[in-house]
């Protein structure tokens, strides 16, 4: 995902004008934009291979886990298709934003699947109602997709100042509107994440639980700072990549909190009960 951001930020999205080949070759000369674009494609091929392997490995697990693995495979196939269409149709914004949204959905599914396959889980009694964490995650997801709209409609630098947009509270131009909408939703998302995260942290009784609960609050502060830095520094490639990675990590941390607050996974028939880390034992017994 970060590599994909670098592809777009460096202007390498059409360095390979064909798909799935690059200039008619599976192994083109890795120079200039081709190095970014084709490396991204090769990494995507590796992700597809790993997910197919995972799907085969979980075929004897419970139905819910198998469905999640199948969903991950379907999402990565859709992601690859959308990636190809962005190239073949010359980077249309709608497909590019859909490509981003699919990648974030895949990330969320993989986080949930990782917890389902782990040797331990929290009990079904989260520190805060599970729906609150889910609502925060959905809001962050929407904010990330809106950020994709900003990027792919050329509105990233429509406002060169913070918090105002070129001296105005709300600009009257289309690119500026999108930029300020992204900022406004970002403020709401940050407030919700901080509220949910701080409430969960106060109610947690274990060190591991408090660390997991506090992570979204820390990440959302970092993400806001990166967003401001991107504008003030005129969108350098490094900060764009960090901002994208920060949004993905924040979403992943909320998905982690949401899933850990869920009901425990039943052990397979004939298998020993999962080992629970010592600092999580009180929560697992509740």
pLDDT in tens, 153-179: 988 888 988 998 888 888 877 888 999
Domain of 94 in residue numbering reads as 1-120
Residues 91 and 199 in one domain: no
Q: Is 257 found in the same domain as 136?
A: yes
CA–chain centroid gap for 188, Å, is 18
φ, ψ at 22 (rounded to 5°) = -125, 110
pLDDT at 173: 79
Please indicate, yes or no, if residue 273 is contained in any of the structural domains. no
pLDDT for res 122: 52
Q: Which of these three, 63, 94, 120, is where a domain ends?
A: 120
- What stretches in the chain show pLDDT beneath 70? 120-128, 262-286
63, 129: one domain: no
Three-class SS state of 116: helix
Tens of pLDDT, residue by residue over 101-125, are: 999 999 999 999 999 898 765 544 4
Confidence at residue 120, expressed as pLDDT on a 0 to 100 scale: 64
| Overall number of domains in the chain | 2
Q: Kindly state the tokens that stand for 70.
A: 């199948």
Q: Residues of 254-266 as b/e, b for ≥16 C-beta within 10 angstroms?
A: bbbbbbbbbeebe
Tokens of 230: 């991107």
């Amino acid at each position: 995902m970060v590599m994909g951001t670098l592809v777009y930020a460096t202007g390498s999205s059409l360095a390979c004008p064909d798909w799935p080949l690059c200039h008619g070759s599976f192994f083109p000369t890795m120079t200039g934009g081709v190095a970014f674009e084709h490396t991204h494609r090769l990494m995507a091929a590796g992700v597809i291979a790993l997910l197919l392997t995972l799907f085969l490995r979980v075929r004897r697990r419970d139905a819910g886990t198998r469905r999640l693995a199948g969903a991950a495979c379907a999402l990565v196939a859709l992601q690859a298709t959308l990636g190809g269409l962005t190239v073949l149709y010359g980077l249309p914004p709608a497909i590019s934003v859909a490509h981003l949204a699919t990648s974030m959905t895949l990330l969320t599914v993989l986080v949930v699947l990782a917890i389902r396959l782990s040797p331990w889980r929290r009990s079904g009694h989260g520190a805060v109602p599970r729906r609150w964490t889910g609502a925060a995650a959905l809001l962050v997801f929407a904010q990330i997709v809106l950020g994709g709209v900003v990027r792919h409609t050329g509105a990233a630098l429509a406002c060169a100042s913070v918090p105002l947009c070129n001296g105005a509270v709300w600009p009257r131009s289309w690119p500026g509107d999108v930029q300020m909408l992204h900022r406004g939703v970002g403020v709401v998302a940050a407030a919700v994440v901080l509220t949910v995260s701080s409430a969960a942290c106060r109610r947690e009784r274990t060190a591991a639980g408090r660390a997991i609960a506090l992570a979204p609050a820390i990440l959302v502060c970092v993400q806001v700072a990166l967003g401001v830095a991107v504008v003030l520094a005129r969108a350098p490639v490094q900060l764009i990549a960090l901002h994208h990675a920060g949004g993905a990590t924040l979403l992943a941390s909320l998905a982690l909190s949401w899933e850990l607050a869920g009901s425990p996974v039943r052990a397979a028939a004939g298998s020993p009960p999962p080992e629970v880390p010592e600092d999580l034992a009180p929560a697992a017994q509740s």
